[in-house]
Amino acid sequence: MIRLYSLVLIGFLLYSCENKKKDVLTNKEFNDKEYVLDSTYQIGDVRRYGILPEKGIGTHPNLEIDKMDAILNLAEKGVVIYFPKGIYKRTLKIENRKNIKIKTSEATFTGSILIKNSENIKVEGTITSFNQLYTRSSSNLELQKVIIRTDTLLAENKMRSIGCSIHARTKNMKVESLEVWDVGSGSKYYSYVKAGLTIHGHNDEPSNISLGKVLIKSSDRHGVYLTGEEISIEKLIVEKFGIGSKKEMKPMEGGIEGEQYSFAGLWIKNCFNSYIREVVINSGNSNGVYSVNFDIGESFRPFDIGKLTLINQPNSSITKKIIGRTGVVVENLIE
């Protein structure tokens, strides 16, 4: 019996090692000849296919398609795509795609990071945009660390950043770390910008969204606006909000005209079976109306907050808004 068990164990280990070996060799075994423009780089490295930091990207000379489309085609064939550290003068647009894995070493895009009508998308490492992270009609998304920040000199559109929008029909999304350094306002370009982080979609709200640490350094409008179901955040920090302009701002989806102007650090409305483990809102450097706006919800599908810390609340004209029909439950409030 012992001998039989040993043979089975050895066979299992050999099978596991062989499978691991195949996983390691996936990129090496793929024939990407028609895509290659510089064979000195490893398979999967975007420089191999003519995409270089600080350079224009343009059309692939052999395939006669955009080079970004070419590498995403490769990714759908099973090649893990690698972006080395640097600034890429483009938007990263993942639309109508499946089964893509990207690795980055602090890659920065001058345009947006867009994921639309896609599924099974994974981004490992830190990725930065000078514009926004936007998702819609997509599922099974996994991103390790995302930074949204403003650089009006390098940004593709020369405008301030517009934050993170997790929009309608986004499902099963996980982000380990999200940092929004700045969100602009003041012109028609910012008409649909609601907050540093906006999870929304009237009648098509996102669901099963899991975020680790979320840091909103500064937002001209709301810090965070949440609707949907099964939204979870481990730690949320809002350092500054409501410091910009209401000009040209459109109502929230499904909202009442005018309510969008009462800027809050955290606004929760119709967000069900959700929780945030810890929230810190700093009102000291903000010019909003509410530190928190706990709007309409349902007590039988509550939104739980483990710990809520309101910094500089007593010394500020900013107040709390908690309506009678809110579904938000705060276990520990510190102010």
Domain contains 46 = no
102: Cα separation from own chain's centroid: 15
Q: Could you give the number of structural domains in the chain?
A: 1
The full DSSP string for 90-148 is S-EEEES-EEEEEEESSEEESS-EEEES-EEEEEEEEEEESSEEEEES-EEEEEEEEEE
∠239-240-246 over CA atoms, to 5°? 155
Q: Which pair of tokens denotes residue 1?
A: 């019996």
Domain contains 305 = yes
Cα–Cα distance between 114 and 324 in angstroms, integer?
A: 38
Domain contains 47 = no
Q: Where do we find the tokens 């909000």?
A: 241
Which of 23-32, 55-64, 321-330 shows the lowest per-residue confidence on average (mean pLDDT)? 23-32
pLDDT of residue 1: 39
What range defines the domain where residue 228 resides? Answer: 68-334
Domain contains 128 = yes
Domain contains 131 = yes
Domain contains 58 = no
Q: What is the pLDDT of residues 47-100, one digit of tens each?
A: 999 999 999 899 999 999 999 999 999 999 999 999 999 999 999 999 999 999
Cα–Cα distance between 192 and 153 in angstroms, integer?
A: 23
Domain contains 298 = yes
Q: What is the pLDDT of residues 111-134, one digit of tens each?
A: 999 999 999 999 999 999 999 999
Q: Which pair of tokens denotes residue 160?
A: 């301030």
Average pLDDT of every residue of the chain: 91
Cα–Cα distance between 155 and 333 in angstroms, integer?
A: 40
Domain contains 143 = yes
Ramachandran angles phi, psi of 281, nearest 5°: -120, 125
Q: Dihedral sign for Cα 17, 20, 26, 28, please.
A: negative
